[in-house]
Copies of this chain bind each other. A is one copy, B any other.
Amino acid sequence: MSNESTAVVFIEFQNDFTSPGGVLHDAVKDSIEANSTLDNAARVLASAREHGAVVIHSPISFAPGYNEISSHPYGILKGVVDATAFVKGQWGAEIDARFAPQPTDIVIEGKRGLDAFGSTNLDFILRSKGIGKVVLAGFLTNCCVESTMRTAYERGFEVVTLTDAVAATSVEEGESAVRFNYPMFSTPTTSDAFIATMESSRDLADTSRGY
């Protein structure tokens, strides 16, 4: 499969998760350190741009006051509201500068839920652009990334999960998800292995063009 039909989806590389001072950063920093999440994801981002894969950013955000959702949330969305996380227009909801979208990237709109397909234009855009392979990185290993992986598999995409470019609220949670659940719905791989795949696909493409 050529890199043109591959999309790398960066899920919630936003300051509230990635940067000191972000309201949820302390919860994920151990897992980020254990995986070198940010370094690996940054290298994948650079390689995807270099080798012609589609780069997609999938941030989550809410209007101030969280008026779009129930006034009595439960589960993980209650956690988001209680932490006053991902408020549109504020620093915590901004995509981390190291992962800032470039003009040729695509920024998914609408994400209010956990599954990046559930409340966004992600599926529409992937279909419209003829994407067959979906590669996932981001936060949280067992929440948004996992829900997105499950739905992408269900919708017939070839799903790749980057097991060292994700992070969770504890190392144990992340490892359990990767060990038990990721293989059912994806091909788990390392960032280095995926980068190598992109490089060799490009070479094949070049060869077939007669270079």
A26 within 8 A of partner (CB): no
Q: Which residues of B contact A181 (CB under 8 A)?
A: 142-143, 146, 177
Which residues of A line the B interface, CB within 8 A? 63, 67-70, 73-76, 79, 104, 106, 108-115, 118-121, 123-130, 142-143, 146-147, 150-151, 153-159, 172-173, 176-177, 180-181, 183-187
Within 8 Å by CB of A115, from B68, B113, B154, B186, lies B154
Q: Which residues of B contact A176 (CB under 8 A)?
A: 176, 180
Q: Which residues of B contact A108 (CB under 8 A)?
A: 110
Q: Which residues of B contact A158 (CB under 8 A)?
A: 74
| Chain copies in the assembled complex | 4
Within 8 Å by CB of A127, from B67, B156, B177, B183, lies B156
In the bound complex, CA of A123 to CA of B151 (Å): 13
Q: 5 closest pairs, A vs B, by CB?
A: A127-B156, A110-B110, A119-B124, A119-B121, A110-B121
- A121-B128 CB under 8 A given contacts A176-B180, A180-B142: no
**Structural contact, B153 and A69, CB atoms closer than 8 A:** no
Expressed in whole angstroms, the minimum distance between the Cβ of A61 and any Cβ of chain B is 9
Within 8 Å by CB of A154, from B73, B119, B185, lies B119
- A130-B184 CB under 8 A given contacts A106-B63, A176-B176: no
**Quick one: closest B residue to A155, CB to CB?**
B127
**Structural contact, B154 and A124, CB atoms closer than 8 A:** yes
**Structural contact, A128 and B74, CB atoms closer than 8 A:** no
In the bound complex, CA of A75 to CA of B74 (Å): 31
Expressed in whole angstroms, the minimum distance between the Cβ of A133 and any Cβ of chain B is 12
In the bound complex, CA of A67 to CA of B67 (Å): 30
Expressed in whole angstroms, the minimum distance between the Cβ of A18 and any Cβ of chain B is 20
User: Quick one: which of A110, A123, A177 has the most chain B CB within 10 A?
Assistant: A110
- A70-B147 CB under 8 A given contacts A120-B110, A154-B113, A185-B75: no
List 29 A-B residue pairs with CB atoms under 8 Å apart, sorted by A's residue number.
A67-B104, A67-B106, A68-B129, A69-B125, A70-B156, A76-B185, A109-B110, A110-B124, A112-B125, A113-B121, A114-B150, A114-B154, A114-B184, A114-B185, A115-B151, A119-B121, A119-B124, A120-B120, A124-B155, A124-B156, A126-B156, A127-B155, A127-B157, A142-B180, A143-B181, A147-B150, A150-B150, A172-B180, A177-B180
